[in-house]
């Protein structure tokens, strides 16, 4: 039995729960390593993965005897089979933040047990990464950094945002990534005022700036990264904003070390986060792992202590509607003396002469 399942069993015992029904596919992958659709059920005696006939062969190929997971084919299960999974009607944990009301009612009918909220039990455990997780994220970050170096040489006047985004995605997947972490953002000048801009047919011109935001996955683990490229020149206003955003990122990185309270660090930054007429539309950052947005969220309402080996993306940004926006983002690992960047591309002004 793997260490994560063993840990969860110990937690359930301490909570006086007979077992747990794990429905969130990210948590299923975290516990079992499986990507296939299904539900992972921990009972007093067994670890069960319930899937359907489309996935049973794939699941059985991935699992070994050491995993100690029994595979059930839901196409062959009756209501009595479901009722027999738990031998009593005592409390069983479920993921109240993931399961819909309809799914909740279906679980009650299927398993005939009392369902108890687990209050993000697995998600909280996922915050602190082990050595294998950190190594996967480091690999994803290296591919991301390399993609940035590649795209700086690739871009030409007249290219569209879509073409640049496609090239970034293609580079990452052909250089070791299994997929992108999220839909790549490429935004030229006025489109960069939208933090989640969607690449369009807008063509690159001289004196534009480009906001990039992208990342990739390795072994299911994500990287997250943002940089700005200036075409031919950078004006004084953009320099001012760029310098301000970079300074804020560095101050947050210095403050977020093992044992620091996120609320205190971010509240101090919000006090200083003032430029005339700016619009700030997202938090200062977030956890990164099997999901691109995980706990913790870097905002002043987050009253919690950050721990060593938490992976976070720090992403301050300033946006001027219909004009431009600048965001600088890196994936960091929290250590005792502060945050260390895992994406290490230069944060000096990137000015590319294309005219």
Give pLDDT, residue 230. Answer: 98
Terminal CA-CA length for the chain: 61
**Judging by DSSP bridges, how do beta strands 324-327 and 47-51 pair with one another?**
unpaired
Q: Give the C-alpha separation, 219 to 33, whole Å.
A: 10
What fold does the segment set 131-352 form as a domain?
Creatine Amidinohydrolase (3.90.230)
Question: 162: exposed, middle or buried (C-beta count within 10 Å: 0-12, 13-18, 19+)?
Answer: middle
pLDDT in tens, 179-224: 999 999 999 999 999 999 999 999 999 999 999 999 999 999 999 9
Q: Give the C-alpha separation, 309 to 257, whole Å.
A: 10
Output the average pLDDT for the chain: 94
pLDDT in tens, 136-171: 999 999 999 999 999 999 999 999 999 999 999 999
**Tokens 């301490």 — which residue?**
14
Give pLDDT, residue 13. Answer: 94
Give pLDDT, residue 300. Answer: 87
Q: Are 248 and 260 in contact (CB under 8 A)?
A: no
Higher per-residue confidence, 248 vs 278? 248
Q: Which residues contact 168 (CB under 8 A, 6 or more apart)?
A: 147, 150, 151, 184, 186, 212, 214
pLDDT in tens, 344-355: 999 999 999 998
Give pLDDT, residue 267. Answer: 84
pLDDT at 269 over 90: no
Query: How many helices (H) and strands (E) in the chain?
Result: 10, 20
CATH number of 3-126: 3.40.350.10
Mean pLDDT, residues 25-50 taken together: 96
Q: Give the C-alpha separation, 349 to 355, whole Å.
A: 18
Q: Give the C-alpha separation, 301 to 305, whole Å.
A: 12
pLDDT at 273 over 70: no
Sketch the domain layout of the chain as residue ranges.
3-126, 131-352
Model pTM? 0.94
């Amino acid at each position: 039995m793997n260490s994560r399942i063993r840990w969860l069993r110990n937690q359930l015992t301490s909570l006086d729960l007979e077992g747990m029904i794990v429905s969130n596919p990210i948590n299923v992958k975290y516990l079992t390593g499986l990507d296939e659709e299904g539900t992972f059920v921990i009972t007093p005696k067994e670890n069960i993965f319930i899937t359907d006939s489309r996935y049973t062969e794939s699941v059985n190929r991935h699992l070994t005897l050491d995993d100690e997971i029994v595979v059930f084919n839901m196409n062959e299960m009756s209501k009595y089979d479901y009722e027999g999974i738990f031998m009593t009607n005592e409390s069983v944990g479920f993921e109240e933040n993931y399961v819909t009301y309809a799914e909740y009612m279906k679980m009650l009918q299927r398993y005939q047990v009392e369902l108890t909220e687990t209050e993000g039990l697995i998600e909280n455990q996922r915050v602190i990464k082990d050595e294998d997780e950190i190594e996967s994220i480091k690999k994803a970050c290296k591919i991301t950094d390399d993609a940035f170096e590649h795209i700086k040489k690739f871009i030409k006047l007249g290219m569209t945002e879509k073409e640049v985004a496609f090239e970034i995605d293609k580079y990452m997947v052909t250089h070791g990534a299994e997929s992108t972490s999220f839909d790549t953002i490429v935004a030229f000048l006025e489109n960069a005022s939208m933090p989640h801009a969607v690449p369009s047919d807008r063509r690159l011109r001289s004196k534009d700036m480009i906001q990039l935001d992208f990342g990739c996955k390795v072994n299911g683990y994500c990287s997250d990264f943002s940089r700005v490229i200036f075409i031919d020149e950078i004006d004084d206003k953009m320099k001012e904003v760029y310098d301000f955003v970079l300074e804020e990122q560095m101050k947050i990185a210095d403050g977020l070390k093992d044992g620091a309270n996120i609320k205190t660090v971010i509240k101090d930054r919000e006090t200083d986060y003032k430029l005339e007429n700016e619009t700030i539309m997202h938090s200062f950052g977030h956890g990164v792992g099997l999901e691109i947005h995980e706990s913790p969220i870097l905002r002043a309402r987050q009253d919690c202590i950050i721990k060593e080996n938490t992976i976070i993306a720090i992403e301050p940004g300033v946006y001027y509607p219909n004009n431009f926006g600048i965001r600088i983002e890196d994936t960091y690992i929290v250590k005792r003396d502060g945050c260390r960047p895992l994406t290490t591309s230069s944060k000096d002004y990137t000015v590319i002469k294309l005219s």
